[in-house]
Amino acid sequence: MSTSSTLPKRLFIISGEPSGDLHGANLVSAILEQEPRTEIQCWGGDKMAKAGARVVKHIDELAFMGFVEIIANLPQILRNFSLCKRQITDFNPDMVLFIYYPGFNLRMAKFISKLGIESAYYISPQIWAWKESRITKIKRYIDHVFVILPFEQKFYERHGVKAEFVGHPLLDEFAKDAPQDDNFYENHQLSDKPIISVLPGSRTQEIKKILPIISELPEAFPNHQIVVSKVAWQPLSLYQPAVDKGIKIVEGSTYTLISNSEAAVVTSGTATLETALLSTPQVVVYKANALSVLLARFLVKIKYISLVNLILDKPAITELIQKEANSINIIRELKSLLTGSENRQRVLQHYNELHQLLGGSGASKIVATRLLKILVKAKN
């Protein structure tokens, strides 16, 4: 893409979660590839920093899960709002880009609108699931909306919001030449037994609730090794209950771990989609504060908690929530997913459907191109 002296150089990105850091990093790379002079500050993580953005607030300080946990951390959240406002005012960007993180970002969008700064939302709020009233804020405060799920564009358009389906950015990640890890087992001191992986999420609360449940897996699957995926910013001590049961811990090689697994236990969220796109059969578990779940069931208007089932609009993979998320049920479901089972083949067929619905890669480049064109128009 040709550069221009009128091309704006300042973009502020707000992302508050690991998946946002991943997709934000791919977007930052695509923007800087097309226009290297762009100056990008962000709320993000190590991946966005490595891609070329200046991280002014790290995501490891932002992960609060559930209604009750958010209320408990409200003073810190309010301080974060004030900090973000100051950083944006000092940076004086030509555009603010929001990546998911809806509770925080929609409040910031109101502030940005008052400043007269152009705004865009990439990986927009899942208002089709709950808080449909947020559509009013999006119409009022957001200038451009980019959606990543096939049905979202029509949903927004029904509510009078112009949105563009750009494809799912996870496909960009998987389209890359994956780093070769020929010594994956050796590097992580794993045996040659087949792997059952556990992806307990990144938030402290969900990790604490999931790990005790999977403590019986080593005994139930003596011919397999149970391996937990650890996020870099969490201390190893948080995973000690799993280590004490002989469960292995792997850090920094999540995709390699998933792709080398015969089956997986996955907390709800983006990881369910990642696991599906890597063609590893999974059982989805969700266990949170009881009051948080009660409120969610009252407010949320969706049939499923996993992205896989939501996109396919059917129970393609098993979801175990709260009391159902116990070791007995998890063991039963995992056994039904092992090599040679009919259920495993059924799940893999559903994964093929998922690939077809999501289309091909290229979301990051599409959004980067759109943003740069918008910025040129805004300046001219």
Distance between CA atoms of 351 and 279, rounded to whole angstroms?
A: 7
Say if residue 62's pLDDT is above 50: yes
Local confidence band at 63 (pLDDT 50, 70, 90 cut-offs): low
134-141 long-range contacts (CB < 8 A, ≥24 apart) are 134/102, 134/106, 135/159, 135/161, 137/106, 137/109, 137/110, 138/106, 138/109, 140/110, 140/113, 141/106, 141/109, 141/110, 141/112, 141/113
Distance between CA atoms of 363 and 365, rounded to whole angstroms?
A: 6
Helix (H) or strand (E) holding 264: strand 261-267
What is residue 375's predicted lDDT score, i.e. its pLDDT? 83
Percentage, residues of the chain above pLDDT 90:
53
* Residue 243 or 132, more confident: 243
What's the whole-number mean pLDDT along residues 342-362? 91
Say if residue 237's pLDDT is above 60: yes
Name the average pLDDT for the chain. Answer: 86
Model pLDDT for residues 304-319, shown as the tens digit of each residue: 788 899 888 899 999 9
Model pLDDT for residues 295-306, shown as the tens digit of each residue: 445 445 567 788
Q: In what order do the strands lie in the sheet with 39-44?
A: 54-58, 39-44, 10-15, 95-99, 118-122, 144-147, 163-165
Q: Please tell me whether residue 191 adopts helix, strand or coil conformation.
A: coil
Domains of the chain, earliest start first: 10-167+362-379 (3.40.50.2000), 184-358 (3.40.50.2000)
What is residue 85's predicted lDDT score, i.e. its pLDDT? 95
What's the whole-number mean pLDDT along residues 188-197? 94
List for the chain the helix, strand, coil content (%; round to 5): 50, 15, 35
Closest CA to 105 of 147, 134, 130: 134
Tell me which residue has tokens 């944006």. Answer: 88
Dihedral over alpha carbons 106, 109, 114, 119 (to 10 degrees): -150
What's the whole-number mean pLDDT along residues 177-198? 84
Tell me which residue has tokens 């037994």. Answer: 193
Kindly report the number of other CB atoms within 10 A of residue 110's CB atom.
11
Task: Give how far Cα 271 sits from Cα of 16, 55, 141, 254, 282, Å.
Answer: 16, 24, 30, 10, 10
Model pLDDT for residues 114-147, shown as the tens digit of each residue: 999 999 999 887 766 555 677 888 999 999 999 9
Say if residue 66's pLDDT is above 50: no
Say if residue 291's pLDDT is above 60: no
Model pLDDT for residues 9-52, shown as the tens digit of each residue: 899 999 988 888 989 999 999 999 999 999 999 999 999 999 99
127-136, 142-151, 197-206, 331-340: the lowest-pLDDT one: 127-136
Beta carbons of 226 and 248 less than 8 angstroms apart: yes
What is residue 132's predicted lDDT score, i.e. its pLDDT? 65
The total number of residues shown for the chain amounts to: 380
